[in-house]
Amino acid sequence: MEAPTHNVLTLAIILPTRDERDNIAPLIARIDAALGPDGWEAIIVDDDSSDGTADEARRLAAADPRIRVIQRVGRRGLASAVIEGVCSTAAPFVAVMDADHQHDPQLLDAMLRKVRDGEAEVAVASRFVEGASADGLADAHRETGSRLANDLARRLTGVSLTDPLSGYFLMRTGTFRTLVPKLSGIGFKILLDILAAAPEPMRVVEVPLNFAHRRSGDSKLDRAVAFEFLVGLYDRLLGKLVPTRFALFGTVGAVGIAVHMAILAVLLGGVTATFWKAQAIATFGAMSFNFWLNNWLTYRDQRLRGPAALLRGWMGFCATCSVGAFANVAVATLLEGRGVVWVLAALAGIVVGSVWNYALSSRFVWGRY
């Protein structure tokens, strides 16, 4: 495949990647076959893949000026990757698609014509519109879950689309950039965020997509994605009142209290009659549970992986929670001693301890505020 000698840039294709090394070159070849040699660029936004995706993309870019690479270190997330990619291009139109070959590049030309000719502000490749197929979803449960999430998205946002959670869409770059300050940048469903952030309902057209099977590698979508979808909706509705990640951290902490009490009840119910032993074991168990759930959900975009990283993270989390527990008790005791009703004093201690734990664990366990 020869790079063009002249290129009037019209369309930028944003490809968020993580561990997609073997998919990049074949996808560029498919885009070239679909769009021809001129008028487009591919911007690969890589979340510091461990398989060398960014290096492979740079190798391709060295021989083809239509390919550009943004390697992000210390931050992750599809939505924020898309925002960075869109803000880096001078093309008047921008498309977002996956790099795993489940999205067909042959649709790009038709989608571009619909937006360029004014038929719609956003062209969306839908898995569920008439003539489409969702065969590439991993199993029947994934397809059912996707349909339910789409239905919830329509009810909560008023967007009348068959697939508002599609990851394959095209729109004017200027329109996208005007919405960037209003976007949450959280999660995988950037299209839903865009449609919800628009001051007026956007004119949208859907084109049928035969959602294919992944060409190579493993899917990045696990069961936490359904939860992350709800997190995105929370951020859109309430994120300005209580920061989303702190709300998640507090929710996990509340669940951890239930875990603590359940362990305590079991131990005192027949395992041991010594309260301090049962309390210590319950505290240890609740901390461990909170660490696991926070790593899986609250810090999903910065998730610790591998035995060594998990062990260090767990030890750091227990240490920070111990400091938070001390702050909790100290503040509550001080307030109660000064005449504050014990319930309010206890709640104040819990809040201080939670904020302390959140700040320290964000910095020292998962790496950044």
User: Which has the closest alpha carbon to 211: 131, 113, 111?
Assistant: 131
- Write down the pTM of the prediction: 0.72
pLDDT band for 50, please (50, 70, 90 cuts). Answer: confident
pLDDT tens-digit map of 207-236: 999 877 766 655 555 455 556 666 666 676
Tell me, yes or no, whether 2 lies in a domain: no
The predicted pLDDT at position 68 comes to 96
Out of 176, 204, 238, pick the residue that ends a domain: 238
190 CA to centre of own chain = 9
Mean pLDDT of 96-123: 94
Q: Given a cut of 90, is residue 121 above it in pLDDT?
A: yes
Q: Given a cut of 90, is residue 147 above it in pLDDT?
A: no
User: Which has the closest alpha carbon to 165: 193, 141, 131?
Assistant: 193
Q: Is 147 exposed, middle or buried (0-12, 13-18, 19+ CB in 10 A)?
A: middle
The mean pLDDT value of the chain amounts to 81
The predicted pLDDT at position 207 comes to 92
pLDDT tens-digit map of 32-49: 999 999 999 999 999 988
**Cα–Cα distances in Å, from 348 out to 53, 240, 316, 317, 330?**
47, 22, 24, 22, 10
Return the CATH number at 233.
3.90.550.10
| Range list of β-strands (E), the chain | 11-17, 40-46, 67-71, 93-96, 122-126, 169-172, 204-208
Out of 238, 266, 284, pick the residue that ends a domain: 238
User: Which has the closest alpha carbon to 114: 170, 155, 64, 73?
Assistant: 170
The predicted pLDDT at position 223 comes to 52
CA distance linking residue 318 with residue 187, whole number of Å: 27
Q: Given a cut of 80, is residue 155 above it in pLDDT?
A: no
Q: Given a cut of 90, is residue 95 above it in pLDDT?
A: yes
C-alpha dihedral (110, 112, 113, 118), degrees to nearest 10: 130
User: Residue 22 corresponds to which tokens in the numbers above?
Assistant: 């073997």
CA distance linking residue 313 with residue 307, whole number of Å: 10
Out of 194, 218, 238, pick the residue that ends a domain: 238
Total structural domains within the chain = 2
Which domain range does residue 319 map to?
244-364
C-alpha dihedral (285, 357, 292, 278), degrees to nearest 10: 0
CB contact at 8 A, 45 and 82: yes
The predicted pLDDT at position 229 comes to 62
Tell me, yes or no, whether 178 lies in a domain: yes
DSSP states along 93-120: EEEE--SSS-S-GGGHHHHHHHHHTTS-
pLDDT band for 91, please (50, 70, 90 cuts). Answer: very high
User: Residue 362 corresponds to which tokens in the numbers above?
Assistant: 């964000």
Question: What's the half-sphere exposure (Cβ side, CA atoms, 13 Å) at 52?
Answer: 6
- Looking at per-residue pLDDT, the higher value among 286 and 32 belongs to 32
| In a shared domain, residues 48 and 154 | yes
Q: Given a cut of 80, is residue 75 above it in pLDDT?
A: no
CB contact at 8 A, 163 and 80: no
- Name the range with the highest mean pLDDT among 88-102, 201-215, 300-314: 88-102
DSSP label at residue 184 = -
| In a shared domain, residues 118 and 266 | no
Tell me, yes or no, whether 1 lies in a domain: no
| In a shared domain, residues 45 and 177 | yes
User: Which has the closest alpha carbon to 234: 148, 293, 152, 129?
Assistant: 152
The predicted pLDDT at position 224 comes to 53
